[in-house]
Amino acid sequence: MKKHNFSAGPSILAPEVIENTAKAVRDLNGIGLSIMEISHRGKDFQAVIDETVALFKEILEIPEGYHVLFLGGGASMQFCMIPYNLLAFKAAYLETGSWAKKAIKEAKLFGNVEVVGSSADKNYNYIPRGYVIPEDADYFHVTTNNTIFGTEIKEDLDSPVPLIADMSSDIFSRPMDVSKYGVIYGGAQKNLGPAGVTFVIIKEELLGKVSRQIPTMIDYRTHIEKESMFNTPPCLPIYTCMETLRWIKKLGGLEKMKQRNDEKAKIIYDEIDRNSMFVGSAEEASRSIMNACFVMKPDYKDLEKDFLEFATQNNIVGIKGHRSVGGFRASIYNAMSIDSVKVLVDIMKKFEKKHAK
């Protein structure tokens, strides 16, 4: 029996995406070869990457002047590629969690970093407000969804300098205005596909402004010029991303994704707030629609293990919270069904009936 997969990443994919990928692994479009055993330079793979780029552009309504790249190295590689290519003098960063901190650490290797706002004082349980973005920064970097802490910047920010966003865990979760960003990047394994491919949406005019030497593989211009084919791209993960994008389009695009995601988030947060045993980890206004983090109230702390066990018995997996927050985290990415969220809510209710004082 298929489990209810609330894992934070790599995470749930739509059943038909997995089914269609399995077919392509056996035989791609009836050509008698697997997607895994064909040249990335042949026409069959070219069609896959072309369609994936086209679907990115169509679904996100990416304007002219941007390129869509598929690279290796994970979102973590972008933490260094961004400053390597774009940081000439000073960059501004918003410190909203572990991933933001890692991005800041890399940027400091390449220039001055101004952390304009931080929620470290409350273990990153909110999105900082009222900060000022310096106009002389080369760019402003944010993590839109903080996968570990369950907070999210749910709108496209205004920035006087190019806005750069790590959207690893909320890309394609809502309609957005790409024109407000200079770079959007992320690992595929949260909301798009399997691990192994990183997407980068980049505005070409930002490049070529730093004076340092850039190694060929680190230079975005290499990958723009060769259309992600300078070296062998992660062919199979790209194929699965294409299937996910077909699925998103078929379901009705980003408006539909947002509607579904808002509905799922409401169901789970309503229960967290109602249930006498649990409490949400993130401040209400900052809550993520992708990762709902919650803990047991102090009176019930010793029952955390029992709840995890009860969840497991009911076919629910992946809800153990990250060690830096503790408690539980229900990741409810695009592919998560409303029915699975209802199953989780149901066991929270049953657990309360059994154990509440």
Ligand X SMILES: *Cc1c(COP(=O)(O)O)cnc(C)c1O
**Residues in touch with ligand X (CB under 6 A):** 9, 74-76, 99, 143, 145, 147, 166, 168-169, 187, 190
121 is catalytic: no
Counting Cα atoms < 13 Å in the Cβ hemisphere of 38 gives 23
Which residue's CB is nearer to ligand X, number 21 or number 96? 96
* Least Cβ distance, residue 204 to ligand X (angstroms): 24
Please say whether the beta carbons of 11 and 188 come within 8 A: no
Q: Give the nearest distance from C-beta 259 to ligand X in angstroms.
A: 23
Cα–Cα distance for residue pair 192/147, rounded to 1 Å:
15
Question: How many Å from the N-terminal Cα to the C-terminal Cα in the chain?
Answer: 34
Spot the catalytic one: 138, 166, 170, 219: 166
Options 99, 154, 203, 219, the catalytic residue:
99
233: its two tokens: 């791209």
Q: Is 163 helix (H, G, I), strand (E, B) or coil?
A: strand
Pick 20 or 168: Cβ nearer ligand X: 168
- For 178-221, what is the HEC assignment? HHHCCEEEEECCCCCCCCCCEEEEEEHHHCCCCCCCCCHHHCHH
- Residue pair 197/234 in contact by the 8 Å Cβ criterion: yes
CA-CA distances (angstroms) from residue 340 to 98, 178, 230?
A: 28, 31, 41
Q: Between 300 and 320, whose beta carbon lies closer to ligand X?
A: 320
Q: Are strands 291-296 and 278-280 parallel, antiparallel or unpaired?
A: antiparallel
CA 16 vs CA 12, 144, 173, 246: distances in Å: 12, 28, 18, 10
Q: Which one is catalytic: 138, 154, 170, 190?
A: 190
Which of these, 263, 260, 241, lies nearest to 59 by C-alpha position?
A: 241
Q: Rounded to the nearest whole angstrom, what is the least distance from the CB of residue 197 to ligand X in the complex?
A: 9
Residue 169: CB minimum distance to ligand X, A: 4
Are the C-beta atoms of residues 295 and 328 closer than 8 Å to each other?
A: yes
Active-site residue, 209 included: no
Q: C-beta of 103: minimal distance to ligand X in Å?
A: 8
Q: Tell me whether residue 20 or residue 52 sits nearer to ligand X (CB atom).
A: 52
What DSSP designation does 258 have? H
Q: Is 166 a catalytic residue?
A: yes
51 in helix, strand or coil? helix
Calculate helix-pair angle for 15-26, 235-251, nearest 10 degrees. 140
Nearer to ligand X, 99 or 300 (CB): 99
Q: Give whichever of 9 and 327 is closer to ligand X, judged by the CB atom.
A: 9
CB of 192 to ligand X, least distance (A): 11
CB of 153 to ligand X, least distance (A): 11
Q: What is the phi-psi region of residue 10: left when phi exceeds 0, alpha when psi lies from -120 to 50, beta otherwise?
A: beta
Give the nearer residue to ligand X in terms of CB position, either 101 or 108.
Answer: 101
Q: Which residues are catalytic?
A: 99, 166, 190
